[in-house]
Amino acid sequence: MKILKRILFTILTVLMVCILLRGILYRHIVTYKSIGQRTSYTATSNNLIQYIEENSVKRDNLSVESIIKESLSLTAKTLNFSFSESSRDPNSLIDSKKANCTGYAAFFFAVCNYQLKKYNLSEQWVVSSEIGQLYVFGTNIHNYFDSSFFKDHDFVIVRNKTTKDFFAVDPSVNDYLHIDYVTFEDKLK
């Protein structure tokens, strides 16, 4: 009985550590590599613009990190993941609320880009919607799937135009695992 309790305690401890350190673990295990870029969408629908304005933090100045976190939050609150074919246009996603990784990235892109312009940071920062592949411990996992759904994965890069520093985010992973930033192998540095 004592051994069983120790085993159970060890399993629970490992699980708690994994949950608490999930972001750090994910960033050490999974690397994103870009294989192209998606078409970018801007927030043009009144519903989307109104949603961003009504649900954004009201401050005079926001840092790029705050804008990214807020854009991730607004994306997660709005969208629900779907394996079926869905729109990529954030202006229609605000109403349908169903998206796959492509829609999540496009929605985040539109929200983040809108806020960068609103806070006069778009001259300094640029957002790109990336088509990528995920590498787990250096191995491309997309090679192990036959489905066209898993041939690639969309994520977003927010890059400083001058310094080339960047923030890589995966809005769909953020929604389900609450992981803010991801590891991106940058070819520009």
- Specify whether the CB–CB gap between 105 and 129 falls below 8 A: yes
Q: Residue 91 in contact with residue 44, Cβ under 8 Å?
A: yes
Structural domains in the chain, CATH included, are: 31-184 (3.10.620)
CA–CA gap between residue 10 and residue 127 (Å, rounded): 43
Question: Residue 150's pLDDT is what?
Answer: 76
Q: Does residue 154 contact residue 173 with C-beta atoms inside 8 Å?
A: no
- Residue 188: what pLDDT? 58
Q: Measure Cα distances from 184 to 8, 35, 76, 101, 142 in Å.
A: 36, 12, 21, 16, 16
The predicted pLDDT at position 13 comes to 83
Give me the amino acid identity at 98: K
Q: Closest Cα partner for 94 from 102, 85, 103?
A: 103
- Those residues with Cβ within 8 angstroms of residue 37's Cβ, 6 or more apart along the chain or in another chain: 128, 129, 130, 131
Give residue 8's pLDDT.
82
Provide the pLDDT for residue 69: 95
As beta bridge partners, residue 156 has: 129, 169
Name the pTM for this structure: 0.89
CA distances from 154 to 54, 75, 135 (A): 27, 14, 13
pLDDT of residue 189: 52
Give the model's pLDDT for residue 46. Answer: 92
**Mean pLDDT of successive 10-residue stretches along the chain, which has 189 residues:** 81 80 89 92 92 84 91 95 86 92 94 94 94 93 78 94 95 93 81
**Residue 135 to residues 117, 122, 158, 182, Cα–Cα distance (Å):** 33, 31, 20, 12
CA atoms of 184 and 6, how far apart (whole Å): 39
Structure tokens at 155: 């994520």
